[in-house]
Amino acid sequence: MASLAGLGAPSLAAALLFSAGALVLCSLAAIRSHGGLAIAGRRAVTMAFAFTGLASVALISALFAHDFSLSYVARYSSRSLSGPYTLGAFWGGMEGSLLFWTLLLTGFSAVALERSRAATPRLGAWAGAVLSGITVFFLLLLVAPASPFTSLSPVPADGSGLNPLLQSPGMMIHPPLLYTGFVGFSIPFAFAMAALLSKRLDPSWFTSTRRWTLFSWSALSIGIVLGGAWAYTELGWGGYWAWDPVENASFMPWLTATAFLHSVVIQEKRQMLKVWNVSLILITYALAVFGTFLTRSGILSSIHTFTEGPIGKWFLPFLGVMLLGGLGIVLARLNELRATNRFDSLVSRESAFLANNVLFVAAAFAVLWGTIYPIIAEVFTGVRLSIGPPFFNSVFVPLGLAIIGLTGIGPLISWRRMSKGSFGRVVRVPLVAGVLMAVALAIAGVSSVGALLAFSLCAFTAMAIGSEFVRGSRVHRLQQRMDWGRALTTTVARNRRRYGGYIVHLGVILIVIGIAGSAFRTERHSLLEMGESMTIGDYELTYSDLSRSETDEKSINTAVIDVTSAGRADGSLFPQRNFHRAQGQPQSEVAIRTGPIEDLYVVITSFDTDGAAAIRAFVNPLTWWIWVGAAVMLGGMTVLLWSPAPVRVTERVRSESRRPVTVTR
């Protein structure tokens, strides 16, 4: 079968030429305020996108045509690989994933620049220059050191196939979502730099890119959760997050982006924190690029760094130029970035937002420290170290709990200042809910302080958010004589930014409940002959049968594990341990019975020579809520993305004005 592989390298070269052209044109357009040049620059960006698209089509067609004359195709796919996973091989390896990154970058750039042309022409020209600069870097990598179109000789009869671990539905969505998130931050980053370069430091740089920020942040959030879901269902160690360097690499930009999403609200409403906001988006984007570097350089050992590519050394100078250039321009504009307002009171919405930012940035710093400490220690002391989950958990639990509490308090406080009396009134009901939760759990015998605090804070914050919904709906119900359902939907629809945010917060609370449940995880590991049983929690697991079958790809061994829960027969689970021929590797397939109370998680870790199965079983309480929480977050994100961008940003915020409760009570 013929493939379009021959088009790949020329397309990339053309894309490089066009993006270099766009860099020159957009820079000139920005410096000279020349409309014609700006149009030409935007067209060049679009052409770079078209040719990157053509190169992507070439690689995908080569994958589907099994054109093993391309080294990339031979390394990451095989004849027996099924269709969707053949597409997955497009981003399954280093070169392909860089091409995919560049495809997203050029596509996002083209759309964002096109959309900005009317409202913010000068900003758009500078942003085009910044984006084209980034594109040139990635295309240079793709043309020379990391070309996906390097040919292989002699041509092998079959490829080595995709790692069986990656052959999972989650892996079809998780990497593209993470890349979408990482690359999407290019847009607010470029517009922030454009604002600094053009001295247009009003909020238009982030209001015009608000949807990009939200969209990228949403993609990153869901991508991270899906990565956890993949680890949970595929890796067979019973957990979903291991503080692996590459997991951290996706989590750090998420933390700073979350801080950014919150702190731009202060700039929008109160014209404060301008330096902070441009710095945050700079840090977020630098962390996103750093994450790509970590994944690609193999500098840290990680489950993800199978590919120790030759491109690591290219990323550091790029990162350096970006960070130093960014910081330099921020410093050069310090005067223009001075705040026009000040903090009025410690008990104010501004302070709550600021505390939120401090916590998120501190968390990002702690994760960064734990991730790069081994590198620093090796450089300075020659000792090679590894930082494990106990460090990250110890740092993260207090910071995370503080963030959860603040999520509840923040929306209750009014802008500028609030009297102690009104603060006490709005905090009372959630506080009672939190205390009741702690007392109930303590009576039920929960002794883990972390878990007690987590569940109480979740109850507090859920009640605080819930009361916001009730308060809003009550106004609509009374004023417009609606029933509660209509009133609730009207409330959300009328103020999508606020209530969309609350829905996201509720999702986060559910996720935290799911994570806190892991404090009660139990695990057993037993060697079972056929017919033998093991117990875990209230369950008795009996290894009752084994069946074997063969496919082109693998030999499948399916065990039948009969489950008895609290003495009653309760169906069966079917974990597998399969042998993948192309990779010469065994692979366990986990069997999970999931539910809101707890998951029963069973995996065969090995078969003995005489047929006995080593069974590892977990009972994971509340894990189900993590996925439900992510779905709720996705709902909230949809509401947020659906909301129109704010039209006017200079509206004055009066103290306690948005607090109908003080009026109606």
Partner 1 sequence: MEQPQTPYVAPRRTRFIVGAVVIAVVLVGLVVWAMARPGAASMYMTPTEVGDMVLLDGEIRMSGTVVPGSIETTGLATSFLVTDGTSEVPVTTDSPMPDAFMDSSEVVAIGSLDGDSFVATRVLAKCPSKFKAKA
Q: Is 398 in the site for partner 1 (CB under 8 A)?
A: yes
Q: How many residues bind partner 1 (CB under 8 A)?
A: 67
Q: Is 165 in the site for partner 1 (CB under 8 A)?
A: yes
Q: Is 657 in the site for partner 1 (CB under 8 A)?
A: no
Minimum distance between the CB of residue 605 and partner 1, rounded to whole angstroms?
Answer: 4
Q: Please answer whether residues 227 and 178 qualify as being in contact, where contact means their C-beta atoms are separated by less than 8 angstroms.
A: yes
Q: Is 64 in the site for partner 1 (CB under 8 A)?
A: no
* C-alpha distances in Å from residue 219, one per residue of 153, 596, 630, 633, 665: 39, 25, 11, 11, 41
| Segment interacting with partner 1, rule: CB under 8 A, options 137-145, 148-156, 217-225, 520-528 | 520-528
Binding mask 461-500 for partner 1 (x = CB under 8 A): ----------------------------------------
Decide whether 336 or 608 has the Cβ nearer to partner 1: 608
| Segment interacting with partner 1, rule: CB under 8 A, options 198-206, 389-397, 618-626, 657-665 | 389-397
Binding mask 168-187 for partner 1 (x = CB under 8 A): ---x--xx------------
| Segment interacting with partner 1, rule: CB under 8 A, options 36-44, 394-402, 452-460, 496-504 | 394-402
| CA-closest candidate to residue 506, choices 629, 345, 353, 423 | 629
Q: Is 432 in the site for partner 1 (CB under 8 A)?
A: no
Decide whether 4 or 527 has the Cβ nearer to partner 1: 527
Q: Is 441 in the site for partner 1 (CB under 8 A)?
A: no
| CA-closest candidate to residue 183, choices 107, 75, 273, 117 | 107
Cα(18)–Cα(24) distance, rounded to whole angstroms?
Answer: 10
Cα(505)–Cα(270) distance, rounded to whole angstroms?
Answer: 23
Decide whether 41 or 374 has the Cβ nearer to partner 1: 374
Q: Is 606 in the site for partner 1 (CB under 8 A)?
A: yes
| Segment interacting with partner 1, rule: CB under 8 A, options 57-65, 138-146, 478-486, 577-585 | 577-585
Cα(272)–Cα(267) distance, rounded to whole angstroms?
Answer: 5
| Segment interacting with partner 1, rule: CB under 8 A, options 446-454, 558-566, 609-617, 641-649 | 609-617
Q: Please answer whether residues 166 and 91 qualify as being in contact, where contact means their C-beta atoms are separated by less than 8 angstroms.
A: no
| CA-closest candidate to residue 187, choices 156, 211, 159, 154 | 211
Give bridge partners of residue 559 from the DSSP assignment: 546
Structure tokens at 556: 């499948």
Judged by CB under 8 A, which of 33, 82, 394, 657 binds partner 1? 394
Q: Are strands 568-573 and 576-580 parallel, antiparallel or unpaired?
A: unpaired
In a 3-state reduction of DSSP, which class is residue 587?
Answer: strand
Q: Does residue 145 have a cis peptide bond before it, meaning omega lies within 30 degrees of 0?
A: no
Provide the 10 A C-beta neighbour count for residue 91. 23
Judged by CB under 8 A, which of 8, 21, 41, 92 binds partner 1? 92
Judged by CB under 8 A, which of 16, 266, 283, 366 binds partner 1? 366
Q: Is 306 in the site for partner 1 (CB under 8 A)?
A: yes
Minimum distance between the CB of residue 164 and partner 1, rounded to whole angstroms?
Answer: 8
Structure tokens at 226: 């899906």
Decide whether 67 or 247 has the Cβ nearer to partner 1: 247
Strands in 509-648 per DSSP E: 522-528, 533-536, 539-550, 554-565, 568-573, 576-580, 585-589, 591-593, 598-607, 613-621
Q: Is 616 in the site for partner 1 (CB under 8 A)?
A: yes
The answer for residues whose C-beta is within 8 angstroms of residue 130's C-beta and 6 or more apart is 189, 190, 193, 194
Cα(472)–Cα(470) distance, rounded to whole angstroms?
Answer: 6
Q: Is 228 in the site for partner 1 (CB under 8 A)?
A: no
| CA-closest candidate to residue 123, choices 20, 22, 33, 186 | 33
Decide whether 89 or 640 has the Cβ nearer to partner 1: 89
Q: Is 605 in the site for partner 1 (CB under 8 A)?
A: yes
Minimum distance between the CB of residue 260 and partner 1, rounded to whole angstroms?
Answer: 18
Q: Is 305 in the site for partner 1 (CB under 8 A)?
A: yes
Q: Is 531 in the site for partner 1 (CB under 8 A)?
A: no
Judged by CB under 8 A, which of 429, 527, 530, 649 binds partner 1? 527
Q: Is 368 in the site for partner 1 (CB under 8 A)?
A: no
Q: Is 295 in the site for partner 1 (CB under 8 A)?
A: yes
Judged by CB under 8 A, which of 107, 176, 326, 374 binds partner 1? 374
| Segment interacting with partner 1, rule: CB under 8 A, options 2-10, 133-141, 142-150, 297-305 | 297-305
Cα(147)–Cα(94) distance, rounded to whole angstroms?
Answer: 9
The answer for residues whose C-beta is within 8 angstroms of residue 419's C-beta and 6 or more apart is none
Minimum distance between the CB of residue 406 and partner 1, rounded to whole angstroms?
Answer: 14
Give me the helices (H) in 447-555, please. 449-480, 484-494, 496-516
Decide whether 162 or 194 has the Cβ nearer to partner 1: 162
What letter does residue 637 receive in the DSSP assignment?
Answer: H
Q: Is 608 in the site for partner 1 (CB under 8 A)?
A: yes
Minimum distance between the CB of residue 366 and partner 1, rounded to whole angstroms?
Answer: 6
Decide whether 97 or 147 has the Cβ nearer to partner 1: 97
Q: Is 588 in the site for partner 1 (CB under 8 A)?
A: yes
Q: Is 236 in the site for partner 1 (CB under 8 A)?
A: yes
Decide whether 384 or 568 has the Cβ nearer to partner 1: 384
611-626 core/surface letters (b: 16 or more CB in 10 A; e: else): ebbebbbbbbbbbbbb
Minimum distance between the CB of residue 660 and partner 1, rounded to whole angstroms?
Answer: 24
Judged by CB under 8 A, which of 161, 291, 400, 472 binds partner 1? 161
What is the number of alpha carbons within 13 Å of residue 124 lying toward its C-beta?
24
Judged by CB under 8 A, which of 385, 440, 493, 631 binds partner 1? 385
Judged by CB under 8 A, which of 2, 154, 340, 342 binds partner 1? 342
Residue matched to tokens 């067979």: 236
Convert 123-181 into a string of H (helix), E (strand) and C (coil). Answer: HHHHHHHHHHHHHHHHHHHHHCCCCCCCECCCCCCCCCCCCHHHCCHHHHHHHHHHHHH
**Angle between helical axes of 484-494 and 449-480 (0-180°, round to 10):** 100
Q: Is 384 in the site for partner 1 (CB under 8 A)?
A: yes
| Segment interacting with partner 1, rule: CB under 8 A, options 9-17, 195-203, 304-312, 535-543 | 304-312
Residue matched to tokens 């015998």: 445
Give bridge partners of residue 522 from the DSSP assignment: 619
Rounded-to-10 torsion of CA 353, 354, 356, 357: 120
| CA-closest candidate to residue 38, choices 194, 144, 174 | 194
Q: Is 530 in the site for partner 1 (CB under 8 A)?
A: no
Binding region for partner 1 (CB under 8 A): 75-76, 92-94, 97, 160-163, 165-166, 171, 174-175, 227, 230, 236-237, 246, 295, 301, 303-307, 342, 358, 362, 365-366, 369, 373-374, 383-392, 394-395, 398-399, 420, 525-527, 583-588, 603, 605-606, 608-609, 612, 614, 616
